[in-house]
Amino acid sequence: MDVSSSSSHSFRQRRP
């Protein structure tokens, strides 16, 4: 249950 959180956090911090 950490993969979903990681994916969401990764894409959320990927802000140019």
Question: Torsion angle of alpha carbons 6, 7, 13, 14, nearest 10°?
Answer: 140
One-letter amino acid at 10 equals S
Structure tokens at 14: 């990927």
Structure tokens at 9: 């956090």
For residues 9 and 13, give the distance between their C-alpha atoms in angstroms, rounded to a whole number.
Answer: 6
- Predicted pLDDT of residue 3: 56
Q: Identify the residue whose tokens are 């959320």.
A: 12
- Predicted pLDDT of residue 5: 55
Q: What is the pLDDT along the chain (16 residues), one digit of tens a residue?
A: 455 555 555 556 665 6
